[in-house]
Each structure stands twice: as structure tokens, then as C-alpha cells.
Amino acid sequence: MDDDGIAASMIGDLQPYAVKVVVEEYNPAWPTWYAEEEAAIRAALGDLALRIEHTGSTSVRGLAAKPLIDILLLVPDAADEAAYLPALEAAGYALRVRQPDWYQHRCLVGRVESGARRSVNLHVFAPESGAPEIERILAFRDWLRTHEDDRNYYERTKRELARREWKYVQHYANAKSEVIEEILGRALPG
């Protein structure tokens, strides 16, 4: 995503990424952090939470990562923000990204620097409209959990990229795309 795409999808002011990307050694507390967030999301949404998954690097045992919990949340209709957004905001999450042209994706965040107990990216999709991206997210996570060579390759890439300075954190994410696509080529069938 280029700078115009970043600006178009962001909710609120777009601020340059003012800190260095920090990739930490795997923290065995990350699954517990996820479980606490999952419980808060389930309490806020009840049956609207069709599926909740721990994703991203903190969901892969042994993989170094930014200390930020990525969560995949499936709701009946991601475009129907009125159905789920007020409850998630009351639970401490803030809508930061709205991408109606990309699988109706929404991203809510919690940030330690803004008073949250931990930093979280909560990616919201609906099962049908988000199906292709949901499959990719879960396939990538599951592959890294069971393929040490690719897990190490991805970690080396992240550490190398973390040494650079980035205007926006999305630029860091974009820079990982080639390696992610290469690994997904092995992870996804056919």
C-alpha cells in the first residue's frame, strides 16, 4: 500500500511512525495476552463474534516479533460497523483502518502508549467477503508453526527490516510482502 492508500484508509490523523520497529525474542506470555483479549472481545460481542483467532508473529511459538498481538475477528458483516463497533470501542479498541474495497477489512487498535494494557491490532472481516484473505492469514500462521526453515527465514527478514527507519509502519509491513508471498506459495495448496 502506498502513502495515498495508507492515508485513504486511515481513521483519524495519519502520523509518521516515530519509533523504531522493535522485534523481540518470542515471549511465552503472548498466548496468555491473546487469551485475555479474546475473552474481552467475546464479552463485548457475544454471538456476533463468529470466530476469533490469534494471528501474526506472536501466534507462532519461537518466532521473534513486535510485542503486538494480532487478532482475526470474524463478524457476520464487517461493513455493518453499527453492529459491532460501539461494543468494541467500549471494550477499549479504536477504529483505525477502514478498507471497504479490500475484503471489507476494518482494523481496530489498542496501544499501550494510549493507555491500553497491551498493543493489539484487531482485524475484522466477514466470512464470505473476507474469505480469500482469511485463508491466507491462517495458512501463513499455520505454515510457520510447523515449518522451522520458513519460520527462521521470516524472522531473519523481519530483523533485517527492523534495522531500517520507516516513515509509516505500513512501509515495514510492505517490505515483508515478497517473503510472505514466497512462503505462502509453499503454504497454500495448488
What is residue 2's predicted lDDT score, i.e. its pLDDT?
55
Pairing of strands 51-55, 120-125: unpaired
The reply to whether the predicted model has a pTM over 0.85 is yes
Q: Which pLDDT band holds residue 4 (cuts at 50, 70, 90)? A: low
What is residue 155's predicted lDDT score, i.e. its pLDDT?
98
Distance of alpha carbon 133 from alpha carbon 146, whole angstroms: 20
The two counts, helices (H) then strands (E), for the chain are 7, 5
What is residue 9's predicted lDDT score, i.e. its pLDDT?
60
- Each residue of 130-166: pLDDT tens digit? 999 999 999 999 999 999 999 999 999 999 998 988 7
Report yes or no: 126 and 40 within 8 Å, Cβ to Cβ: no
Distance of alpha carbon 62 from alpha carbon 88, whole angstroms: 30
What is residue 20's predicted lDDT score, i.e. its pLDDT?
79
HSE-CB of 85 using CA atoms within 13 angstroms: 15
What is residue 19's predicted lDDT score, i.e. its pLDDT?
60
Based on C-alpha coordinates, what's the Rg of the chain?
Answer: 16
Distance of alpha carbon 182 from alpha carbon 154, whole angstroms: 10
What is residue 12's predicted lDDT score, i.e. its pLDDT?
66
Q: Which residue in the block uniquely carries the three cell numbers 491466507?
A: 136
What is residue 17's predicted lDDT score, i.e. its pLDDT?
46
What is residue 189's predicted lDDT score, i.e. its pLDDT?
78
Least confident of 30-34, 71-75, 170-174: 170-174
What is residue 170's predicted lDDT score, i.e. its pLDDT?
74
Higher local confidence (pLDDT), 173 or 187? 187
Higher local confidence (pLDDT), 10 or 98? 98
Q: What is the mean pLDDT of the chain?
A: 91
- Grid coordinates in use for 33? 495476552
Q: Given CA atoms 107, 122, 143, 27 in this order, what sign does their dihedral have?
A: positive
The 3-state DSSP class for residue 157 equals: helix
Host H or E run for residue 173: helix 169-175
Q: How far is CA 143 from CA 46, 55, 164, in A?
A: 30, 12, 27
